[in-house]
Each structure stands twice: as C-alpha cells, then as structure tokens.
C-alpha cells in the first residue's frame, strides 16, 4: 500500500468518528417537541406564580426565569439520557455552580423546584406524568393562596415623647385589635419608640388615627408583616 492510500484511509477514519455518528443519530424532532412542551409547562408555572404572588415586591425577572429553568433543565436531561459519559461530565460541571441570589420567600423555592422537576420529567420522556402533575400542583397552589386570613399580622410602630403614656397607648391598641404584643422598645434622648405585633379586627385601621391624636405621640404607622422578617 502506497502513502496516498494510507493517507486516504486515515482521512476517512477522521470523518467516521463517533462524534459525527452521535450528531447523525440525534433527533431534532424529539428535541423540538420536548422544548415546546417544556415551554408550555413553564408558561403555566409562570402564570400560577403571577396569580398567587403575595409578597412585597413582584419580580418579573424571577418569574421569567421559571420558564427558562424548565426549558434548560429539559435540554440538559435530553443530553444526559443520550450518553452515559456525558451524564458523568454534566454532574461534574454542575457541581461547581453556585447560586448566590437570596431567596426571600420560601414559596419561591417551591416554584423553582417545581420548574426543575417538570423539566426533568419532560426531558426523561415522562410527558404524561409532567402534564398530569402540573395542573394538579397549580390548582392546589392557586386554591390555598386565594384563602385570605383575617388574622394577618401587622406591625404597629408608635413614637412618643412622654414615657408615662406607654400604658395608655398599649391599652388603646389592645382594645382595638384581636391581639397586641410588644415586640421591641427603643428609648433615645427622652423619645420612646415601640413596636407592637397586632391582629386586626376585620381590617379596621381607624385606631391608628386615635393613637396619633393622643398627647405626646409624634408618629404612628401600621405595616403589614408576612412573619418572615425576624422582628
């Protein structure tokens, strides 16, 4: 065999590599269907999060990331299930990822885990399970989030100059609400600031005006509290 024949064989072996074989074996249709389904499910999660949000500030970027999280997870699982070697490499690559964004509301973790789980199910081919589980979970979240509690906690912040008025102010608040507990008391240069945790009676906030009309009271504020502020 001459040199040209040997060169021709080696040249053909290059283009018959396993890498090119994996490309020809890849199904574009399967990927397109999986990504389309993951987008639909991710959009459903986006809709449920927007309708059930009960926090202080709604984050549109976080909600949009739920759709992207579902689709990206699906894409990763499609690649992992097609090659064992790739799955081991993917585990090592993902192990160095660190998420530094603080999750302020525990329910946000639920939606993140929900989006990732749906992406895994669709990518693994368990489409019926993903399509059945999504509306059930969404319905439960929607129903329970729509139940409004009349005993939601509030923080009553009162600032006054006469320390002897402390008991009177506490009595006024106690008579106007279902529950009144002192959370903190701060004294600076003769001025007193007190924070009460209160539970309103049928959302009646008229007592705040009565407290501000009390002598020596310079400031009174009622703030909604979700119970996770740690105050």
From 191, 193, 190, select the one nearest 220 (Cα to Cα). Answer: 193
User: 9-34: per-residue pLDDT in tens?
Assistant: 454 554 455 554 555 456 788 888 99
Residue 230 has a pLDDT of: 44
Cα separation, 181 vs 161, in Å, equals 21
Domain positions in the chain are: 25-145, 153-224
| Mean pLDDT of the residues in the chain | 78
Residue 30 has a pLDDT of: 82
Does this model's pTM top 0.85? My answer is: no
CATH classification of 153-224, choosing from 3.40.50.300, 3.40.50.620, 3.30.70.1710, 3.30.200.20?
3.30.70.1710
Residue 139 has a pLDDT of: 92
Contact residues for 130 (Cβ-Cβ < 8 A; gap 6+): 37, 41, 118, 121, 122
Of the pLDDT bands very low, low, confident and very high (cuts 50, 70, 90), residue 71 is: very high
CA distances from 204 to 54, 68, 172, 214, 218 (A): 20, 42, 14, 18, 21
Examine the pLDDT at 129 and tell me if it is beyond 50.
yes
Residue 150 has a pLDDT of: 53
Cα separation, 132 vs 218, in Å, equals 57
To the nearest 10°, report the CA torsion of 94, 96, 101, 107: 40
User: By CB neighbour count within 10 A (0-12 exposed, 13-18 middle, 19+ buried), where does 195 fall?
Assistant: middle
From 134, 112, 110, select the one nearest 122 (Cα to Cα). Answer: 134
């Amino acid at each position: 065999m001459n040199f040209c024949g040997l060169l021709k064989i080696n040249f053909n072996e290059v283009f018959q590599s396993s890498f090119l074989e994996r490309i020809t074996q890849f199904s574009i249709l399967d990927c397109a269907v999986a990504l389309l389904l993951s987008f639909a499910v991710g959009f459903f999660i986006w809709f449920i999060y927007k309708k059930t949000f009960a926090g202080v500030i709604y984050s549109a970027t976080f909600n949009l990331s739920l759709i992207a999280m579902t689709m990206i997870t699906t894409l990763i699982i499609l690649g992992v299930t097609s090659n064992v070697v790739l799955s081991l490499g993917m585990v090592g690559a993902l192990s160095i990822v660190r998420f530094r964004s603080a999750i302020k509301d525990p329910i946000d973790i639920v939606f993140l885990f929900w989006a990732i789980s749906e992406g895994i199910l669709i990518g693994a081919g368990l489409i019926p399970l993903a399509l059945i589980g999504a509306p059930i979970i969404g319905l439960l979240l929607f129903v329970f989030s729509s139940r409004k509690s009349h005993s939601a906690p509030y923080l009553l912040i009162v600032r006054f100059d006469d320390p002897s008025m402390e008991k009177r102010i506490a009595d006024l608040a106690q008579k106007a609400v279902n529950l009144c507990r002192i959370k903190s008391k701060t004294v600076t240069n003769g001025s007193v600031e007190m924070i009460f945790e209160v539970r309103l009676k049928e959302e009646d906030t008229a007592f705040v005006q009565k407290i501000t009309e009390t002598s020596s009271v310079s400031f009174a504020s009622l703030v909604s509290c979700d119970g996770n502020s740690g105050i």
